């Protein structure tokens, strides 16, 4: 049994997925699952009792991962834990395919069957979800979420905290600004300004 206590923050559906991947990678790991939602405290997640999240308690030099799908919440908790001395940890499912020269920053999650191609870069706290494709030379900045089966074609640029919906397709060379949202199934053919929402085929601004 591992002596180290690993902190996994987030006990919702995404937390369940991340915990499964973590235990697949490190079967003997000693995991503490925490959440800030009163409705989840004390409940069980895959055999573990959910504790209350407090970034100031016993977090110094402890590995952690924030397993929350919502970008702004994940980013907030990530920075709180780093400020308390926590060590963000990347989790990559064993069935993901990662090219040898990909650069992945700390605290990122790469789910089962995801693909990240050569010369791509991925920032802190990113989610590359089930079956998502990040093609060659893409740049994903911190705290983005590329949802299941979404595809970033070559040389796509995502700003901070971008959400790419399930099954969306971003064409080569597109840039998507900070805090933008792309709807599920959208096909993005033009650059997307920061803070906007695009949806449809081809994608158009809806908000």
**Which amino acids are annotated catalytic?**
130
Task: Please choose, from the candidates 92, 60, 53, the residue with its C-alpha nearest in 3D space to the C-alpha of residue 76.
Answer: 53
| Three-state DSSP class for residue 207 | coil
Beta-carbon count within 10 A of 33 CB = 26
The answer to whether 182 and 203 are in contact (CB under 8 A) is: yes
Query: CA–CA separation, 176 vs 187, rounded Å?
Result: 13
Residue with tokens 């970034």: 55
Cα–Cα dist 49/196, whole Å = 39
- Residue 123: Cβ-neighbour burial (10 angstroms; 0-12, 13-18, 19+): buried
Asked if 94 contacts 111 with a C-beta cutoff of 8 angstroms, the reply is no
- The residue among 80, 32, 79, 72 whose CA lies nearest residue 55 is 80
């Amino acid at each position: 049994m591992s002596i180290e206590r690993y902190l996994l923050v987030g006990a919702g559906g995404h937390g369940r997925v991340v915990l499964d991947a973590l235990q697949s990678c490190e079967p003997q790991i000693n995991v503490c699952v925490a959440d800030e939602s009163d409705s989840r405290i004390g409940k069980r997640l895959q055999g573990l009792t959910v504790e209350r999240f407090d970034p100031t308690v016993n977090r110094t030099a402890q590995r952690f991962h924030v397993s929350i799908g919502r970008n702004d919440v994940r980013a907030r908790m990530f920075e709180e834990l780093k400020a308390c001395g926590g060590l963000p940890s990347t989790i990559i499912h064993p069935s993901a395919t990662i090219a040898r020269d990909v650069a992945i920053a700390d605290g990122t999650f790469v789910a089962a069957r995801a693909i990240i191609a050569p010369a791509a870069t991925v920032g802190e706290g990113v989610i590359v979800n089930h079956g998502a494709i990040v093609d060659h030379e893409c740049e994903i900045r911190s705290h983005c979420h590329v949802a299941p089966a979404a595809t970033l074609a070559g040389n796509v640029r995502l700003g901070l905290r971008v959400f790419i919906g399930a099954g969306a397709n971003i064409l080569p060379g597109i840039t998507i600004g900070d805090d933008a949202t792309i709807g599920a199934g959208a096909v993005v053919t033009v650059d997307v300004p920061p803070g906007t929402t695009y949806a449809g085929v081809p994608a158009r601004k809806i908000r």
